[in-house]
Chain A
Amino acid sequence: MFSNSRVSFQFVTILIYITVVCVSQVNSHWWSLATKTLLVGSSSVEQCDNELGFSHSQRQLCRTYANHMKYVKDGAENGIKECKYQFRLNRWNCSTAVNDITVFGKVLKIGSKETAFTYAVAAAGVVVSVAQACKNGLLQECGCSRAPRPQGISSSWNWGGCGDDTDYAYGFAKEFIDARERDTNPSNKSKHKARKEMNLRNNEAGRLVAVRSSEPTCKCHGVSGSCNVRTCWMKLSGFREIGNKLKSKYNSAIEVVAKKRGRRQLDFTPRKRSDVITPTSLVYLESSPDYCVKNRRTGVKGTKGRECNVDSNGPDGCGLMCCGRGYRVVHKQIVEKCNCRFQWCCTVICDQCPSNVKRYVCK
């Protein structure tokens, strides 16, 4: 009897484990990497297999490009950070849950504008951090060695120099991030197919915005400084600038309807006729859920307890933020640094200034 129950207990454990793995497979996301500490060295390859956030192909890529994972993680982190910054004044504030494999919670299951932004900003984050790593000489693959590299990127250093770092970062990010979508093989339900297509498009939009925000800078260095010899290179702008661009893409995001074309192909047509879909536009399928009230089903956390601005007419104003529920006034005494005097590089001399502030918090 005792032994029997033990067997059944083990059985149940296994069953639960399988269910957990399967479920997390569906909802999990590679950007959960952002919340983890990565191992470096030989064990990092093994970590690839235990990484629940990865899809099948992503695990393979992780094994081949184990050294890239640190920068994928950095990229995801930066993406999430930027998302929080850009949406700090909105009802949905890009809130993340600790120890949640989906990072952003269930809310991303909805194919909304916000989901579109999240995918794009994370993809852009990876492009920027991989390009940065290339520039710092931390990744061999983009520095013209013979090490394996994604397709289409090849050149020999002594003959033609190396390819552009941004170019490499774009290629890698495309390979790695889109692998997750390529792995999912949605059943015939066109809803899932459409969602796959939406994710792919927003990933690409994020990458392209990152890449296109790099501006060419040129230098003339011919005879007597003339321009008969001129060399250009791409200068990647800071991530804040990229975040801003993506935010404006979010503001002009296009709601689309999926239409079948042929047996497998899907075509997106904008719901509004006047809209034109470009490679960098964010697209979404469903309208956003009500972000005002906490909702277990959709995963919305609600705006209760959020700070608001009484003087603002924008989305951070107390009227909009608190969804008409009103707000409480909280008095706080804080000590702030003030009258700071900077000096290059490392010295900041500040005074300590205590002050009383009023804070407004949504009911």
Chain B
Amino acid sequence: MAGALVETLSTKKLLAVFVGFILLEIGFIILAKVKAPISTMAIVQSAVTCIDNKSQDWILPETCKYMVLDPENHQETISHQGPDDNPTHDPNNVVFAAVLPKKIVEMSRWFQYMLTLAVFKIPYNPQLEVAPDAVATLDIRLAYSNNKDFYKLPKSWQSVVNSTQERPLECVFEHPKTDEYKGFHYNCDPLFILQLGSLPHKHYLINIRLPVNKANPKISPNMKIGQVTEIDFVSITQTGGFTKIWISLKVALCTIMIFPLIWYWRRVTALARPALLIEKAIFGLALGMEFLNIPLELVTIFSDASWMLLFTDIRQGLFYALIFIFWVIFTGEHLMDQAHRNKLSSYKWQLGCITVSCLAFLGFELGERGTQLVNPTATMWQHPNLALALLVCGCIAGVLYFLLLCYLVFRVFRSIRFKRRFVLPTERTAHFQSIVNRFRMLMLLSAGTAGLTVAFFILQQKLEGMMNHYLPEDYEFNMASGFFTGVYGLWNIYVFLVLSLYAPSHKLYITSDLDNGDHSSSNGVATEQVQLMQMTQEKPRED
């Protein structure tokens, strides 16, 4: 690689650049802290329990016939044997209905997406416990309406989906299972109901039934789920304010980042030689960042783009892939072994790991959010083995990649130490030192950025934990928005620094022997072997 800009900068200038960017980063966090509301919100609503005579109409919470599913009441009112024709005693006629959001407010396109969960309220009853392997079968119907009279007119609702789904019901009873605690509630995990990738309509209606087969109780679904008396719906959306801040941030970063991108590419093309692999990797990384920066989310405001959630995830995944590729190439190109350089094929193991990891996660995403484009109630966890296999596979490949990367970094440091002592003639030390510094600099930068990201993540979780101790005044305190804008700004700064500091320099243009070596080393394997042998021989003396 040719002399990069970073080698020509003085320490003072470098420091100034760093301080400047740290201030900028603090700015990103403060922006969210001051301007943005909490990033996501959860609307908790109780479903109205309605009784309905198997009609195919939409059941509206306000106009339906209510019913109370209180086990104690039933014990008083119904006491008989034999077949039962009373429609109010047929579980198939019970509908849990809710209009999302609440009556007085409307959905906004700025909310971006909606993830709806159901929390079952099940009082403990020794005669009807929740089985440990209980599976809830849910008949989920979703409709939308933009009509003014949405609350009264079942005709104003248009169907989105009608699907029967099975969900494992995991409930824990935290008290001793004695008669004394009868009526205390199980603690049940929220069940996934549906996820919408965009919210183009004003009101959504959910109707849920828990069907049973009365004629054949042995094979009937929903026989092990205990006495469900109530269902709470939890709808998670992004807040409108956060979406606005987020899109503004993206517009700003997208415009700013285009300049260093063009500038970098012009520098690279201005060189007499073809672009090196590492230069291409840097450019790819910057392109990935810029692609992520494009405020495509704006499309959801103007049209029904439910694919946006999936697409944003893929964009994010692409950026991860490019940054991993960049790291491994950068490290590899600084391996001073004069072998296998400037060729993508020399990184086949690392690239293989990245590909496997990305494909696994992509498979999961397509299975989860891709299927949800067609059926919002579908989830990959319907097939837990496949979902787990994909995630585990993706994670293992990712971990393997990091191990390989760490090994590569270790090798670079070892070869640097080794060469400084024994191999290099004195006249080449200055150039060698600059390459070493260049490498160390990026190591520091990458480790710092990744470390800060992790630190932010931990901090956010910690502070959220503190928030949960419930202090009414501090309830508005919000870390998540600051975390998102902070991390996003951080990676933009990282890419910006890489672009500008590692651009080929015009000031000091050295076509060094090392760089020439890249192209001419046809016997690279042999050289490396010799060097490796040398290293192993030298090692005891080093220690």
Contacts and interface: CB of A to CB of B under 8 A. Distances in A.
B102 A143 contact: yes
Interface in B227-253: 227-228, 232, 234, 236-237, 239-241
Given A132-B46, A160-B239, A241-B184, A137 B75 contact: no
B470 A348 contact: no
Contacts of B240: 158-160
Contacts of B391: 224-225
Contacts of B237: 161
A132 B46 CA distance: 8
Interface in B26-52: 37-46, 48
A158 B74 contact: no
A158 B108 contact: yes
A311 to B, nearest CB: 15
B23 to A, nearest CB: 25
Interface in A227-269: 227-235, 237-238, 240-241
A343 B71 contact: no
Interface in A193-248: 211-212, 214, 216-219, 221, 223-225, 227-235, 237-238, 240-241
B44 A346 contact: no
Given A136-B48, A233-B44, A337-B79, A167 B223 contact: no
B42 A137 contact: no
A308 B232 CA distance: 40
Interface stretch (B2-10, B88-96, B292-300, B531-539): B88-96
B299 to A, nearest CB: 19
Q: Which of B44, B75, B88, B226 has the most CB of A within 10 A?
A: B44
A231 B79 contact: no
B104 A230 contact: no
Contact of A345 (B228, B241, B316, B394): B228
A342 B37 contact: no
A231 B91 contact: no
A231 B236 contact: yes
B184 A238 contact: yes
B225 A161 contact: no
- Grouping DSSP codes into helix (H, G, I), strand (E, B) and loop, the A interface class, with mixed when no group exceeds half, is mixed
Nearest to A142: B102
Interface string A120-164: 000000000000100111001001110000000001011111111
A351 B81 CA distance: 8
B317 A223 contact: yes
A162 B223 contact: no
A161 B44 contact: no
Contact of A167 (B108, B115, B368, B475): B475
Contact of A212 (B74, B123, B457, B470): B470
A221 B94 contact: no
Interface string B391-425: 10010000000000000000000000000000000
Given A137-B102, A347-B84, A232 B241 contact: no
B198 interface: no
Given A137-B102, A211-B470, A231-B42, A344 B222 contact: yes
A14 interface: no
Interface string B202-232: 0000000010100001000011011110001
A135 B310 CA distance: 31
A310 to B, nearest CB: 19
Contact of B394 (A163, A224, A343): A224
Nearest to B181: A240
B12 interface: no
Contacts of B43: 161-162
B228 A140 contact: no
A165 interface: yes
Interface string B116-127: 010101010101
Nearest to A133: B46
Contacts of A223: 313, 316-317, 361, 365
A342 B313 contact: no
A340 B222 contact: no
B361 A344 contact: no
B232 A140 contact: no
Interface string A312-352: 00000000000000000000000001001111111111111
B71 A342 contact: yes
A172 interface: no
Interface in B60-118: 67, 69, 71, 74-75, 78-81, 84, 88-91, 94, 99, 102-105, 108, 110, 115, 117
A219 B38 contact: no
B20 interface: no
B444 to A, nearest CB: 24
A229 B484 CA distance: 9
B350 to A, nearest CB: 21
A121 B338 CA distance: 79
Contacts of A230: 461, 464, 480
A341 to B, nearest CB: 7
A344 B225 contact: yes
A291 interface: no
A229 B472 CA distance: 23
A240 B183 contact: yes
Given A162-B41, A224-B361, A349 B80 contact: yes
A31 interface: no
A224 B365 contact: yes
A136 B37 contact: no
A161 B227 contact: no
Contacts of A165: 44
A284 interface: no
B37 A160 contact: yes
A232 B75 contact: no
B212 A143 contact: no
B426 interface: no
A170 interface: yes
Contacts of B524: none
Contacts of A235: 44, 119, 232
B127 A342 contact: yes
Contact of B37 (A161, A221, A340): A161
B480 to A, nearest CB: 8
B212 A344 contact: yes
B430 to A, nearest CB: 44
A350 B368 contact: no
B344 interface: no
B80 A136 contact: no
B472 A350 contact: no
B185 interface: yes
Q: Which of B104, B115, B240 has the most CB of A within 10 A?
A: B104
B326 interface: no
B190 interface: yes
Given A135-B45, A225-B368, A144 B104 contact: yes
B41 to A, nearest CB: 3
A346 B88 contact: yes
A348 B105 CA distance: 40
Contacts of B117: 219
B468 interface: yes
B185 A231 contact: no
Contacts of A160: 37-38, 41, 239-241
Interface of B: 37-46, 48, 67, 69, 71, 74-75, 78-81, 84, 88-91, 94, 99, 102-105, 108, 110, 115, 117, 119, 121, 123, 125, 127-128, 183-185, 190, 210, 212, 217, 222-223, 225-228, 232, 234, 236-237, 239-241, 313, 316-317, 361, 364-365, 368, 391, 394, 457, 461, 464, 468, 470, 472, 475, 480
6 contacts: A135-B44, A140-B104, A160-B239, A218-B464, A233-B42, A344-B91
Instruction: Give 3 nearest A-B pairs by CB, closest first.
Output: A160-B37, A161-B41, A233-B42
Given A137-B104, A160-B240, A214-B470, 4 more contacts: A217-B234, A223-B361, A241-B184, A346-B78
